[in-house]
Structure 1
Amino acid sequence: METGNRLNLVTAFIVILAGTGSDHQLSKWSAKACEQHTGMGKPRAKVAIVELIEHGFVAHSERSTKLYPQYRLPPIPLDSDPIFLPVAMITGIEAEASMLRRVRETGDPLLLRMLVDLYGLVQLDATFGVPITALSETPPTDYPSRKVFELGVHSVWAMRLGGSKTAKGAWASYHRTESRSNDKAWEDFWPRVAMLEKIGAIWYEAWIFDSDEPDAEPLFPVDFAALYHQGEGDDVTQLTRTMLDAAANLSEERSDLLGRYGLDMLVTLAQHRRAPGIRGVARMRIEADTPGRRLSYYKRRTQIEIYEAGYTQIALDALRGEYNRPMNTAAPQ
């Protein structure tokens, strides 16, 4: 498809789409909205919109006028799998520049494609993030999960995250440069991922999984900052501290266990469970309040409450010298 500026073309389309209602059909957002939300000047925005019309992506509605333009978008096919982009990604939040404006300011149209791709990958489980097979922060290769000790029905594992990341799948292949050798094919991919991190579009949340396999189930999030800082925190911080207290109470060397493993997350699980895994789940900073998101956060909240109660019980049992009651991780009925 011929276009004078591909980034402006796609940016203008996303802005017009953000101005539609629940049926995603009619929009009154035009060149002015492009200028307001993305910094694209009206002359460039008008050129981009003309190109959108020429290529059939939008059309003037029957009520559209030159002074008050209105656009109609093609109906969404029933068998399609649309990607949901939150309006706040286009309009921004509070006094911040919008993510769409920040991406456009880089001048890289494939960065916008990567951002949209990542939104399309978000899965509706408790992490509400990108699948760990597609993009995630990984543990150090020379430091896998290792068992610290066993006591009664409990095993305590030491785990840590590294600074490295991994990516796989068709979405990643699209952003690779196939014409280059294997060692250079990712030269454009990782700088784009880093740029999305720099502009605040994505971040990584540490999660404990039931294994290090690609299809591992997420158990609960943890906060590594809780290893170093006391004081108030959110529910994840509180869960992490309770989990660390449980490990310390189980240890015969309670006084220095946390000191000796200061860089590690000490995770207590039942002995029958396989070795757990840890990953940094890629999360989108701007999320929309959709039914899917609310369901995911209900799952997240439930799992945090289950493990919070379980670790509290383990810590109390250990103070009484009782080590034979396994944690109940079943969701309440």
Structure 2
Amino acid sequence: MDTENNEPKAKKTARERFFAIDAQTWPKVCALGMPAAVSYLVLACGSGGDQTTTRWSVDAITRHTGIGRPRAKQAIDALVKAGLIRIERGGTRPQYSIIHAHQQKTTLPDLTDEEKRIYGIIAMGNNAVPKIGRHDNVWQYGKPYEAALSLTRKGFLKDLGGHRFTLSEPGAVPEGPDLIWLPCSLVDSEGKHLTPVEQIRQSNNVRVLRLFIDLYHSHDLINGLGIEWRPPTGLRYKYERIKLGQMGEHVVWGFKPENVEIHFAARFCAPHVDRTKTEQQAQAFFDALRVLTDLHLVDVIPHLVDNYSEHGEEMWPIPMKDDGEECERLVGLTAAKLASLMLTPGQIEWANAQGIEMASPVKKHMADVQAVGIYRLRHRPHTEATKAWFSDLNDQCRAVVERFNELIAEFGADATSSKHATSR
């Protein structure tokens, strides 16, 4: 008897499992509030391979979050009433179906009467929305622009700018779901710790939860290093570039923190922009992003890029703190060590006085090099694609470190003050 082949398979951990939700449904879920949004993610985490059928219910919500049973039941009732889930079997062991956007009815169950009125007017082709409605035009009364912005945040409208709006899904119901794939570790604690979703729930800010999940929709480790950073629609942390010195064919550049940059039209930023304000229109976005970085759910990994434009390409990571993977931090430390060998003690002292946090030498023909902080989600599913990305990253970092170490040996062997640059 082959007992080895008859042994039960070990259950996959939460980080090895993943689930999906519909990107077009997610804004409508968040419009119902934090308890409903958290509960929806728990139900979805318990779905099968079809990402639709789930037997997780109130018990699972209370087990994986801090939401009490009465409020968990109210959250499920709200999702059912909004047409976002359907009860397939009631009783003590209920079963639900998650209804994706292409399966939902065209009703607007979670909107106020004013929002429904404005949605109907825009649906008839009236795209230019005034701040104040008047009796002598189609808007009649109220504050149509504020209602249109609220509809945009809830995912029913798309803001075209200039007070113009259109339906988010004009003309037709989507043919299928637009899935956001998520690791189960976001929801399933396995009884060991607070999950990311539970930590965000404690912030009592549903915008943070919406942004967190939306970022997964834009997270790409197959074709990139995380969230797209390039202008005009990417998210990035920008650094000020300062020339520290030059030795032969190498220029040593230093970088100090400046600010976060985002284009308001980015799909994960647009729902948080308040265009009724004259300034700080995206403050809600930046506040939500700060919560995610403070919770260490999103890392910012500084990278050297050959130019700061839509055509820019990453060269190598240059983190000096605890951000990024170990191999990336080794590149950053090695780049800084090489840079220090190319600078005089006076130049190093001057750089420290300027608040320089990172430094790297590059060939002087690379005149447009810049540092950008690339945002990367820390919780990632343990899939073959993730493993392949991590393997490639290690190989690339190893090659950079080897090249830098060769230069360190060259410059360190006989570095003298006469070989150091004296100008910046």
Alignment TM-score, normalising by the size of structure 1: 0.79
Residues 221, 187 of structure 1: alpha-carbon distance in 2 compared, 3 angstrom cutoff: same
1:8 pairs, out of 20, 23, 35, with 35
Structure 1 residue ranges without an equivalent (≥5) = 227-232, 323-333
1:241 pairs, out of 322, 328, 333, with 333
Amino acid at match of 2:393: R
Q: 1:311 matched to which residue of 2?
A: 404
Tell me if 1:199 matches 2:199. no
Bigger share in strand = 2
- For the residues of structure 2 that align with 1:170 and 1:25, how far apart are their CA atoms? 25
Amino acid at match of 2:326: D
Tell me if 1:118 matches 2:215. yes
- For the residues of structure 1 that align with 2:225 and 2:29, how far apart are their CA atoms? 37
Q: Is the CA contact 2:318–2:333 (under 8 Å) kept in the aligned structure 1?
A: no
Query: Aligned-pair distance for 1:175?
Result: 0.3
1:138 pairs, out of 227, 234, 238, with 238
Matches within 5 A, 1:98-247: 98-124=195-221, 128-133=225-230, 134-139=234-239, 143-146=240-243, 148-151=245-248, 153-162=249-258, 164-168=259-263, 169-181=266-278, 183-225=279-321, 234-247=326-339
Q: Is the CA contact 1:126–1:297 (under 8 Å) kept in the aligned structure 2?
A: no
Summarize deviations over 1:54-86 as a string: whole Å, max 9, x none: 44433344xx45121222334797754311122
- For the residues of structure 2 that align with 1:106 and 1:283, how far apart are their CA atoms? 21
Residues 31, 243 of structure 1: alpha-carbon distance in 2 compared, 3 angstrom cutoff: same
Query: Aligned-pair distance for 1:237?
Result: 3.3
- For the residues of structure 2 that align with 1:79 and 1:150, how far apart are their CA atoms? 58
Cα root mean square deviation, aligned: 3.1
- For the residues of structure 1 that align with 2:281 and 2:192, how far apart are their CA atoms? 38
Summarize deviations over 1:24-55 as a string: whole Å, max 9, x none: 23222111111111211122222222333344
Q: 1:50 matched to which residue of 2?
A: 77
Paired residues, number = 306
Q: Is the CA contact 2:318–2:335 (under 8 Å) kept in the aligned structure 1?
A: no
Structure 2 residue ranges without an equivalent (≥5) = 1-27, 103-174, 416-424
After the TM superposition, which parts of structure 1 deviate over 6 Å for at least 4 consecutive aligned residues?
A: 1-4, 75-78
Amino acid at match of 1:167: I
Amino acid at match of 2:386: R
Q: Is the CA contact 1:145–1:276 (under 8 Å) kept in the aligned structure 2?
A: no
Amino acid at match of 1:13: Y
Q: Percent identity?
A: 17
- For the residues of structure 2 that align with 1:185 and 1:284, how far apart are their CA atoms? 25
Q: 1:290 matched to which residue of 2?
A: 383
Q: 1:302 matched to which residue of 2?
A: 395
SS at match of 2:303: strand
- For the residues of structure 2 that align with 1:256 and 1:207, how far apart are their CA atoms? 26
Q: Is the CA contact 1:223–1:240 (under 8 Å) kept in the aligned structure 2?
A: yes
Q: 1:84 matched to which residue of 2?
A: 181
